[in-house]
């Protein structure tokens, strides 16, 4: 969704700049541009998939709200309003998909966190739990 969000932002920016319309400073948000390398490393190593998904969904809901406000005001030219309407529908579809993903893949996230995901048996083998294999997230490290 982040890539699609960037495409949407570029489309809107190109349409506005082609009509000599400057976006408001409040509407121009940059990510975490002042993060240090240690903060970035920590974020990459210690992340929670549910929190990341919730944060992205909250941001997208904010974008949908802003687009809805712009559509209500009708202060922009008609082609831009049509483009905003299409992009709002697309973001709303992504939100529905993310909500469905959250329900299906993270339904027992709290239980896993409390019980350390899988129990190691006394002989060193792991419990065979086929139901959780689809929802498990394995952290990959670069070589």
Span 106-126, pLDDT tens digits:
776 555 554 444 444 444 444
Q: Give residues with Cβ within 8 angstroms of 50, minimum separation 6.
A: 102, 106, 109
pLDDT confidence of residue 48: 84
Q: What is the DSSP letter of 17?
A: H
d(CA 45, CA 61) in angstroms, rounded, equals 27
Of 36, 14, 35, residue with least CA distance to 23: 14
**Helix, strand, or coil here: 59?**
helix
Distance CA 10, CA 111 (A): 41
**Helix 2-18 vs helix 49-73: crossing angle, to nearest 10:** 20
Q: Is the pLDDT of residue 82 over 60?
A: yes
- How many Cβ atoms are within 10 Å of 21's Cβ, its own excluded? 13
The pTM of this model reads 0.60
d(CA 60, CA 53) in angstroms, rounded, equals: 11
């Amino acid at each position: 969704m982040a890539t699609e969000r960037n495409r949407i932002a570029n489309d809107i920016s190109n349409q506005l700049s082609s009509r000599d319309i400057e976006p408001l400073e409040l509407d121009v948000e940059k990510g975490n541009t002042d993060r240090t390398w240690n903060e970035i490393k920590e974020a990459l190593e210690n992340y929670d998939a549910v929190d990341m998904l919730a944060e992205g969904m909250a941001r997208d809901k904010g974008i949908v709200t802003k687009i809805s406000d712009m559509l209500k005001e009708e202060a922009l030219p008609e082609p831009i309003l049509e483009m905003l309407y299409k992009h709002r529908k697309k973001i709303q579809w992504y939100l529905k998909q993310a909500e469905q993903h959250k329900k299906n893949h993270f339904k027992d996230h709290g239980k896993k966190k409390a019980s350390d995901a899988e129990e190691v048996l006394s002989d060193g083998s792991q419990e065979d739990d086929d139901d959780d294999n689809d929802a498990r997230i394995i952290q990959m490290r670069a070589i």
